[in-house]
Amino acid sequence: MTSRPHAATPPSAPVPDCPDDETLSARQFRTIAELGGDVAFAIALPARRLGYLSPAFGALSSFAPDALQQALDSDGGSPLAPLAAWLREAAGGEPGALGRREFDLLDAEGRPLALEALATVMRDEPSTLVGLLRDLSAWRAHQSEQKRFASMLNHEFRTPLATIDGAIQRLEATSNHADEPTRTRYRKIGAAVDRLIGMLDEYLSPDRMAALGRSRQPNTITVGDLVETGATQIRAAGREAVLRLDQLSTSDRKQLTLRGEPEGLRLALKVLIDNALAFSPPSAAVVLRARRSGGGIEVAVLDGGAGVPPEDVARVFDKGYRGRNAGGMAGSGLGLYMARSIVEVHGGVLSLAPGEEGAGAEFRLWMPALGL
């Protein structure tokens, strides 16, 4: 019995070339555009005739497909009029220029409809306005929940802090006969409360939350940007910043990105640098090293101080813990705890490198990197 030839392509066979952007069909382009749930459209110019509108438009807005064309043909009266007016404006834009706007509309049943519209005029002849409509409802709900949560945290922290602040002010005002160590403790408590209230104002204020809601925030930061932020902080403190980036190419620094909220990662690095500045002599440089490590990027902060005492190593990241060498330095013992929490939320690791006492401290911030 003769065996049938094997129909599968052998592993060594060349992969057929993918079509380039000149050979992709209109259907393929539409499918690519709509994979993420966006609504694609194409409007022929100068007649402003709707040549294509994704079927998902009806599910998103409850309008019939011709409702957008009717809005384009009229000057008002339709819930889609603001969108149509912007599309007419975008149709007169420079070819290749990207236009973007957000709209708060009502759908065909009178329910709120939040849309983001992106459009550009194609350079081809005949001219066409093409673009996407995106549903912002889930994003707006997420932002609202984020603001509500931040507002709750702000309130929950600020209320007891206000109580402590009032009590310590009263103690200071009535402590004329207290000894100096007691008065010094009162001042330290007051300074710590001021720092915590300042952090609330900086990270959980209504203004900051409103700013977050106005635009989509980036969720990645390049390795180079993160390291340069740290170097700027060191130099602003009047100290020498030594960068050891030789294990990363220039393209690595510009293209390798860490996935996470940039301000959070900058804050975690700031805590490490604050510690390096505080626990090393004013003449000592602070070293920032970045390198590839285990499918991610490791950013290390090395100082020229006495290092972490052996008895403090196991607890250095504990909440509220202050080490033996903290002495009379200001601080709450929350910095390293907060930094590790931020890094771990982003899927990273923050650790203290093993070392000998007296040889300086080395903290390593490791994050998974995109593109590795």
The two structure tokens encoding residue 371: 């593109």
The helix or strand, by DSSP H or E, that contains position 57, with its residue range, turns out to be helix 56-61
What tens digit of pLDDT does each residue of 104-146 get?
998 888 888 899 999 999 877 778 999 899 988 887 777 777 6
Beta-carbon contacts of 132 under 8 Å, excluding residues fewer than 6 positions away, are 33, 38, 39, 40, 41, 117, 118, 119
**What confidence tier does 178 reach under pLDDT thresholds 50, 70, 90?**
confident
**What confidence tier does 243 reach under pLDDT thresholds 50, 70, 90?**
very high
Instruction: State the Cα torsion 330-332-333-336 to the nearest 10°.
Output: -90
pTM: 0.45
CA-to-CA distance for 204 and 287, rounded, in angstroms? 31
The two structure tokens encoding residue 136: 């912002």
Query: What is the model's pLDDT at position 310?
Result: 83
Query: What is the model's pLDDT at position 330?
Result: 53
Query: What is the model's pLDDT at position 4?
Result: 38
Report angle CA 50, 54, 55 to the nearest 5 degrees.
115
Helix-, strand-, coil-residue percentages of the chain, each rounded to 5: 45, 20, 35
Contact between 247 and 227 (Cβ < 8 Å): no
**What confidence tier does 186 reach under pLDDT thresholds 50, 70, 90?**
confident
Higher pLDDT, 159 or 248: 248
Burial level of 80, CB count in 10 A (0-12/13-18/19+)? Answer: buried
User: Where are the strands (E) in 182-265, listed by range?
Assistant: 220-222, 241-244, 257-259
**What confidence tier does 214 reach under pLDDT thresholds 50, 70, 90?**
very low
What integer is the mean pLDDT of 231-248? 92
Query: What is the model's pLDDT at position 137?
Result: 83
